[in-house]
């Protein structure tokens, strides 16, 4: 008799876990209270990237004369932008439902609540299983400040469905979400101000990359304020006066919208964790190396349990969790997780940053290749950006790769695979890279580790 698995949550962690469990022969049921695909597909990764794609097209059209194209008047038809985003989301949501049905996964619509380690109640109906996978995701984090409940104060979900294109926006938070929206709305023509409490934006990203990104978005018109604290927002007619403290002085900026983008919090309330005795810490479900909670047979994956809130992390954890639950050997490499930021051009990284290597006392060497020396990057993004490789001092093993440039989010997969296979810079160098591609810059950065990049002047390392 096949084992029974219940997955609570139909996001990128949940639906992938359900499909993998079905592939392994389990009888699978999945419960989703809202739309299949979760936050990422409905109000996160996918709609954001769809709108960024439109913003990049608009920005390119505005500067088309430099390419020899005469387009004429370029206008944004905002309702059509939202319609385009909606069509992409709708198609993918239907695709997820189709995949679940094709794998004979039973779909339940409604809110699920744990009754014990083997029982879930949905809409008054009791479901039983040998293993339960919690994949309930996360919600935008909220903070209290004077004016937080004003109509013009929005979160990332609201920022994806504004009825009109804003002419101005303040963004509280200079992390991944905040900087992506800053880049996007700036490209759409809005005057954007980013307010970040920390000394710099994009915490966790290599400082050399951050400096380059910050310089570029500032040149494009984004006002970036760091070491700045929001003090409140007041209504000013149809606008908002957003006040903040920086350098001991209180200042303000008048905008149409204030986007609060200060991260996300696990969605773990009212799902029966307390009744079953599942351990949590600050709302996050605690799990072991196999993603099993302290209650045998109950697993948790993705944003509800992981400090790294990324869709691909949730998917990988979902696969590992059901493989363990069904008696298979699971493989999860949590030390090799690529991160992507969809600015223009893009940012991507995997492995350790230079600051972390220094703090850990790890001997390393680095190679930086400026994309001004890469033909395809020159064509696509005027040569903006770099590829940076950090390698072990003695053996040349790849410790971290950090990219700022066109197609960075695609190129980072090569770096992640290289790290997974414990490749060295010599092996990257000896791998023939196609020309002309942005990917050639990976080999050039590997050469730069020893100061022998071909398409950049000597650096004096030899």
332-364: burial string, b at 16+ Cβ within 10 Å, e else: beeeebbbbbbbbbbbbbbbbbbeebeeeeeeb
- Taking the C-alpha atoms of residue 284 and residue 263, their distance in angstroms, rounded to an integer, is 14
Q: Is 429 helix (H, G, I), strand (E, B) or coil?
A: helix
* Cβ atoms of 143 and 233 closer than 8 Å: no
Q: Quickly list H helices, 175-228.
A: 176-187, 207-219
* Cβ atoms of 134 and 56 closer than 8 Å: no
Catalytic choice (328, 402, 435, 455): 435
> Residue 240's beta-bridge partner residues?
235, 255
The CB density around residue 270, as the number of other CB atoms within 10 Å, is 9
Q: Is 7 helix (H, G, I), strand (E, B) or coil?
A: strand
Respond yes or no: is residue 435 known to be catalytic.
Answer: yes
Task: Write the DSSP symbol of residue 33.
Answer: S
The CB density around residue 382, as the number of other CB atoms within 10 Å, is 14
* Cβ atoms of 165 and 78 closer than 8 Å: yes
Which residues, 6 or more positions from 94, have their beta carbon under 8 angstroms from its beta carbon?
A: none
- The residues annotated with a catalytic role in the active site are 435
């Amino acid at each position: 008799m096949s084992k029974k698995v219940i997955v609570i949550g139909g996001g990128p962690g949940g639906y992938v876990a359900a499909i993998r469990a079905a592939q392994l022969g389990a009888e699978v049921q999945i419960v989703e209270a809202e739309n299949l695909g979760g936050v990422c597909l409905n109000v996160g990764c996918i709609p954001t990237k769809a709108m960024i794609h439109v913003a990049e097209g608009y920005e390119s059209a505005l500067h088309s004369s430099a390419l020899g194209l005469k387009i004429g008047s370029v206008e944004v038809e905002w309702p059509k932008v939202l319609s385009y985003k909606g069509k992409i989301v709708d198609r993918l949501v239907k695709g997820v439902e189709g995949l679940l049905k094709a794998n004979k996964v039973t779909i339940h619509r409604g809110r699920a609540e744990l009754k014990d380690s083997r029982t879930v109640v949905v809409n008054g109906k009791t479901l039983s299983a040998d293993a339960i996978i919690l994949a309930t995701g996360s919600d935008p984090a909220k903070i209290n400040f004077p004016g937080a409940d004003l109509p013009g104060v929005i979160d990332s979900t609201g920022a994806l469905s504004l009825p009109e294109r804003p002419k101005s926006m303040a963004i509280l938070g200079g992390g991944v979400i905040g900087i992506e929206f800053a880049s996007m709305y700036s490209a759409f023509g809005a005057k954007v101000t980013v307010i970040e409490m920390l000394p710099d934006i994009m915490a966790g990203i290599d400082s050399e990359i951050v400096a380059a990104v910050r310089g570029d978005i500032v040149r494009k018109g984004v006002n970036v304020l760091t070491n700045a604290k929001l003090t409140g927002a007041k209504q000013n007619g149809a606008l908002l006066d957003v006040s903040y403290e920086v350098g001991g002085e209180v200042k303000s900026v008048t905008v149409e919208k204030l986007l609060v983008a200060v991260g996300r919090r696990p969605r773990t309330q009212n799902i029966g964790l307390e009744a079953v005795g599942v351990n949590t810490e600050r709302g996050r479900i605690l799990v072991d190396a196999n993603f099993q909670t302290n209650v045998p047979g109950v697993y948790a994956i993705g944003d509800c349990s992981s400090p790294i809130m990324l869709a691909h992390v949730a998917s990988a954890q979902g696969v590992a969790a059901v493989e363990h639950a069904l008696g298979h050997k699971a493989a999860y490499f949590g030390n090799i997780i690529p991160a992507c930021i969809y600015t223009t051009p893009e940012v991507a990284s995997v492995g350790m940053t230079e600051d972390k290597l220094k703090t850990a006392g790890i001997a390393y060497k680095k190679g930086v290749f400026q994309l001004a020396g890469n033909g395809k990057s020159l064509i696509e993004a005027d040569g903006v950006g770099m590829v940076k490789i950090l390698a072990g001092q003695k053996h040349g093993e790849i410790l971290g790769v950090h990219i700022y440039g066109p197609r960075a989010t695609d190129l980072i997969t090569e770096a992640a695979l290289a790290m997974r296979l414990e490749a060295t810079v010599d092996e990257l160098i000896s791998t023939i890279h196609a020309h002309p591609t942005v990917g050639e810059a990976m080999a050039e950065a590997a050469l730069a580790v020893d100061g022998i990049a071909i398409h950049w002047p000597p650096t004096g390392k030899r």
